[in-house]
Chain A
C-alpha cells in the first residue's frame, strides 16, 4: 500500500544528518565570497535540495501516490506564475521624470 511506507530508524537518522550537513554547507558558503547573483542561486539551490529531501523522505513522497507529488509540483508552479508575472511588471516599469 502506497501510504504505509515504514522507514527504518537508521534511514531517518541518515536523512536528518544529510540535512544538517546541508545546513552547514549553506552557512559555510557565505564565508567564501561568491559574486552577486550566484550567492543567491547557491543559497536557493541548497534550500531546494533540503526541501526536496524533507518532502521525499520525511514526508514519504518518494513512496506516495503520483497525485500527491503532482500537488506539490503544482503549488510550486503556481507560485512561480505569481512571482514571474508580477516581476514582468515590477522589473520593467519606466516611470517618466518631470522635466520641471
Chain B
C-alpha cells in the first residue's frame, strides 16, 4: 500500500494467483438480508444500491420524456395541459441531470470498480460512502414530495425571477437538489482520497487505469463546483422563503447574476457527467481491441485539462442573457479551447484501434455508437460556441438536440457500454449477446431518429420548452416522437435480457473479455474483500503485449498486508511504494 510519502523501493515477496472460477464465497453471498444490505459499508453493495436507484430514476425520467414527446405529436394541446407539460419537462430535466447523469457513472459504476482497480478493500471512508447514498435517498424523497405537493414548473435551471414568483413547491425541489449536492461532494472526497492513499503496492500514477484518471478529474470538478450549486440553491430557497432579493429584480437584485451562479456549477456539471464516460470508453476500447491504449498521458491529462477549462466557460449559456460583450467574447474564446482536449481524446481512441484485435462485442458496439454520436454532439457544440451563430440558435431545439447528443448519445451510451462491460464482474452472470446487440442497434436508430430532426427544427427557429408550436414544425416533431418510441423499446429489450441474465444467466468466468485491467484479476463476482491477496502491480492496465499471468501477482494473506504473511516465494519484484 502506498502509505508513506518517501519513495523507497522495497522488495516484495509475491506469488501468482489465478482467480477462482467458481468462488464459494462472494460479496453477494456474504452478509445477505435486507438489514445487512441497508447498513453495508461494502463499496460494491453501495454501488449496486446506487445502480438500482439511478436506473429507477432513469426509468421515471424516460417515461416523462415519452409523455412530452407524445404531447408534441400535434401542434396544439392533445392530452395534457400547458402547466402539466411545463412541470413534466422540468422534472424530466431535473431527474435526468441530478438523479441520473451526475451520479450514474461515479456513484454506481465508479463505486463498484474504483477500489477493485486500485486493489484495495474499500474506499477510504466506507461509512461516508453509505452516508452519501442515504443523502441521495433523502434528496430524492424531498423531490418526490415536491412533485406531489404542487409540482415545479421552473425548468431544471430554476431561473429567477420566474422561480422566485411561480406557484408550486419550488422550495422543496431546490432543497432536494441542495441535499443531493452533498451526496455528490462526499463521493468526490472519497474518490480523491482513495486514489491518493489506497493504491496497491507498485501502482504508481502511470499504472492506474484511465477510468480512474477520469474519476479523479470528475471528483475534482465535483468538489469545486458542487458547493457553488449548494449556495445558489440555498440563496434561491431563501429567495422564496424570505424574499431576500439578491436575484429578484423586483426587490433590486439581478437575475443575470443568478445565471452566473447557476452555470458556474452546471457547466462543469456537464463534465461531471461526461468525463467518467470518457474513462469507460478508454477501458472498453483497449480491452476489446486487445491493444495498449494510444497516448495514455494525452488521455489522462486531457481529462484534467477538460476539468480545468470546463470551469472557465460557463458564460456560453448566457450569450443572449444580457451579459457584457466583453464577457461574451472571453467565454466564446475559452469555449473553443475546451474542444481541443476532447478532440485529442477521440483521435487517441480511434488510434488505439489501429492494428488491434477488435472484437465487436456489445460494450464495444456501444462505444462505437458513443464515438459517432458524441462527435455530432461535439461539433454542434462548436456551432453553439460561435457567437454569431449562437445568437440565432440559442434556446432553440438545436440546443436541445446538441445536449442530448452529448448527454444521451455520449454519456448514456458510455454508461450502457460500462454496464455491459462490468455486468459479469458485478453479478457473475453473462447476458444474451445476441439480444444485447439488437438492443444497441435499436437504441442507436431510435436515438438518431429522435434527435436529428430536432437539429433541423431548431435551426429553423423552433424555440425550446414550447407546449404549442407552429404547424410547419409538425413533421419534425412527429419523426422525433416516433424515434423516442423506438428508443423506449430499445431500453425495454435491455431491461428484459438483463433481468433474464440475473435470474438464469450463464455463469461468467473471472475475465470474460481477456482484459489486463486489475478488476478482472479477481473472481466474478469478487469476494467480500475484493481480493484474497494484496495485488502487486508491475504492469500497466493496458499492457496487452505481456502475458496474462504477469498480471496475477499478489501478496498472500487475507488481511490485505496486515498480520503475518506466509510467503510462497515464487517471484521477487521491486515495487516502489
Interface residues on A, range: 10 to 19
Q: At the interface, yes or no: B330 with Cβ under 8 Å from chain A?
A: yes
Q: When chains A and B are docked, how far (Å) is the Cα of A78 from the Cα of B327?
A: 17
Q: When chains A and B are docked, how far (Å) is the Cα of A94 from the Cα of B254?
A: 15
* Cβ contacts A80-100/B at 8 Å (1 or 0 each): 011001101111111100000
A2 — nearest CB in chain B belongs to which residue? B5
Q: When chains A and B are docked, how far (Å) is the Cα of A90 from the Cα of B259?
A: 12
Q: When chains A and B are docked, how far (Å) is the Cα of A32 from the Cα of B59?
A: 65
Write the nearest CB–CB distance from A83 to chain B, whole angstroms.
10
Among A88, A89, A95, the most chain B Cβ lie within 10 Å of the Cβ of A89
Q: Which of A81, A89, A91 lies in contact with B312, CB distance below 8 A?
A: A81
Q: Is the interface of B mostly helix, strand, loop or mixed?
A: helix
Given contacts A67-B196, A75-B224, A94-B324, contact A85 B5 (CB under 8 A): no
Write the nearest CB–CB distance from A67 to chain B, whole angstroms.
7
B327 A89 Cβ-Cβ under 8 A: yes
Q: At the interface, yes or no: A72 with Cβ under 8 Å from chain B?
A: no
Q: When chains A and B are docked, how far (Å) is the Cα of A82 from the Cα of B5?
A: 33
Write the nearest CB–CB distance from A82 to chain B, whole angstroms.
6
Within 8 A of B (CB), among A33-76: 65, 67, 74-75
* Cβ contacts B238-265/A at 8 Å (1 or 0 each): 0000000000000000101100100010
> What would be 24 A-B contacts, judged by CB atoms less than 8 Å apart?
A2-B5, A78-B224, A78-B311, A81-B312, A82-B264, A85-B330, A86-B257, A86-B264, A88-B324, A89-B256, A89-B260, A89-B315, A89-B323, A89-B324, A89-B327, A90-B254, A90-B257, A91-B324, A92-B325, A92-B326, A92-B327, A93-B323, A93-B324, A94-B324
Residue positions of B touching A, CB distance < 8 A: 5, 196, 224, 228, 254, 256-257, 260, 264, 311-312, 314-315, 318, 322-327, 330-331
A-B contact sample (20 more), CB < 8 A, given A67-B196, A81-B311, A85-B314:
A2-B5, A74-B224, A75-B224, A78-B311, A82-B228, A85-B330, A86-B257, A86-B264, A88-B326, A88-B330, A89-B256, A89-B260, A89-B315, A89-B318, A90-B324, A92-B324, A92-B325, A93-B324, A94-B324, A95-B322
